[in-house]
Structure 1
Amino acid sequence: MNIFNEETCQRCGTCLEQCSFLRLPIESAKEEISKMIETRDSRKIIKNCAGCSYCNIVCPTGSSPYELIREIRLRTYREKGVRSLSLITEEMPYNLMSIGLEIDTEEKKRDLIQYENPPKSDKMFYIGCGIPYCFPELTKTKLLEELPILGGMKYCCGGYVHSSFGENEAMIKGLELYEKFKSLKVEKLITFCPGCDIMIKGVYPSIIEGFNIEGQTIIEYLIEKYHKGALHIKNKITQRITFQDPCPWRKLDKKIYEGPREFLEIIGAEVVEMKHNKETSLCCGAPLSISNRSLATKIAKERISEAESINTDIIAHICTGCLAVLSKHATERNIKSYYITELAQMATGEKPSLKILENAEKLQKHVIKTISKNPNIILGQYIIKDGKICRL
């Protein structure tokens, strides 16, 4: 587990000056980081931090300032709680996934019965919670016919627990999840979400003794199939494509960045890089899309401007949050946005549904409508203690 190194930190303020969300003037940044170290508090951080950990990348002394920020956030959330929207569990009647289920309900419920009750297998496609509730069309492909699909709130990776309430609560969640995986005889999960990647590949192996579930991204899986001669490219996609590297990958081995580039080359693309790429990639703004919409929109537009500056035709994604937030602004600049498996479908001769933008807009409108009808959704605050959800 990383910790903030107070001894090596020079209080230079670079972390807060270069933060996409804060961008404090350098003198203000110096004052703020010094205050954060002294008081372990910061209203600016609680309001504006998206948790992207870009500050760790730009820190000139490698002092891991995000760990200080995370300490501040954890203490605040433990004391003041979080909104129900953030708690991805069936115990909460109103969270982003349960609200998403209210759109095209019957079809999603039919799919969820399968995803939550798959046949036992040593390998499974692990779609997490976002895809089945918000973007179910991504599972409707021949690419996923080889293995059972596992997903739904019942099998949420627990990233929200780790980010809001820390290692101890994450361990409780992880042990419960590990027992479920073992009961299904799972040894390897093919993941579709960078949040799941960090939990399966990074967090749980470091805090749960004996956690031995292997994680493989869907990109790595497709590359492996291609090299085995089991994935046939029928239609080369000979366009300029850039990849939106997701924030959670910063915490994993840098080799993970090679996969998307290799796969895009396999399908015939000319891979082009935005100024900020791989571990220096900029956040899309999605984590603040409800709590600070104006700032999230500003960040998203800036990211698309960076893509536009390299004359890319397409932005490829592995994170549905990035795709949902950036696709609208990309379309306005005549840039197409696709989830990586949608590109794989096109290349292998299959027609994807291409409903991500439509569904993202539906979901956003429905969330706003639901909150306006039930304002208590954003007024109630909750904590997780000893694995149990408690209302403050």
Structure 2
Amino acid sequence: MGIQGAAESASWQAPTAVEQGLYEAGSGENWPVFFDILAGTDLYFPMSRELMDAVPGSIPFRPFRDPKFDGLALAVFTRGMLEPPVGDHVFERSDLRSLARVWPKSVRWLAVNPGTPVEAFLPADPKRWKRHAKNPPTEPQLKTLWTGDRHGPLAHGMACGAMLLVNNGSIWNHLGWQWGGYTEEKELLRKWWGVTGRAEWLETVERLLNGEVVSPAWEFVLRVRQALVLEYGVLPEASQWRETAERVLVSRTAEVVDQTGRPPEFDLDADIELVQELIGRVLRYEARFRADGLLDGGRCVRSVMAWDFGRASCMARWGLGARYGERDETERALLRVGDASRQVYRSWAEFAVGFVLGRCLHFDSEEFGDWYTDMVTVHQILSTEPDSPWLSVPWEQSPADLTER
């Protein structure tokens, strides 16, 4: 067994750390390391989209013959070697442990990344695969596609989704999204978003890009505080913030009554109570952010629009993986994500705390559980690791980059 064809392309650039590790281990015939890497990463089977739509949830084996090897082979690809999502060609995700359990006896070879500069044909040995799969090495949370966009407006739009993608262990700058595999991507969109087709995906992307999914109440209280900061140059006391928010609500209600001549169709007292409670929640979260190093002492969260923009960055690619959209549609959405984010925020640091606060207001309920602590970990990773887009993708994009897109 061995690496085939790598010498044919001396200038070949490994797309991710996985392919680089497999190439080095295979070239040096360090098979224990090779199988450890293979056992610790996702493997993808090429499939027919028509077939997977007809039989969702199954991965029917499709062995092939290679003239260089005697007997049938089964192809799997690592994530960096996946072709862009086009036509009827899709990929389904699995791993070495699962493959070892169901390996067909008639197949003699496992073909890893066949037809690429880093292909390897491995004799079928499910028992060995199971041993390596017992304690596989843990992949880093921050994953970068080295051959993908890493600078410029498109990279900026993708980086806006980095907190969610790094938390999930996904590649932050993978445009041709196929992370979970075709069937899994469709199921996740259905389960979490109720998206089951193209029209729903397009509508969801648009709502996220327009900041229409976050609660208007969250954004209202933050805008009231920002207005006070602009007027007085300092952060307001909690009492001033609450009193001002209440006055604004009362004033808006009076305008509605004057315009309609009828009492409002909403409960003003309930709205005031909600806003007062929200201000308290925001202040307590910000205090925790400062204690955990997410927020500098004299700063505050400007907006929670990042919660929508960050998810829009991901949604644009999730829909591509589920084949609800086309590549050019995903690219345009990502560019809009970057534009919208730069209009609201002035740095990755500001964007990050806006995203975290939106996530916590949505899910955490001041429990400071995983919905929050996971973000503290991701924030530390993105603030310090050299491959982080926060360190390699400037927040401000040059006029030349923006016009060349």
Alignment TM-score > 0.5, same fold: no
Shorter-normalised TM range: under 0.3
TM-score, structure 1 normalization: 0.26
Larger Rg, first or second structure (1 or 2): 2
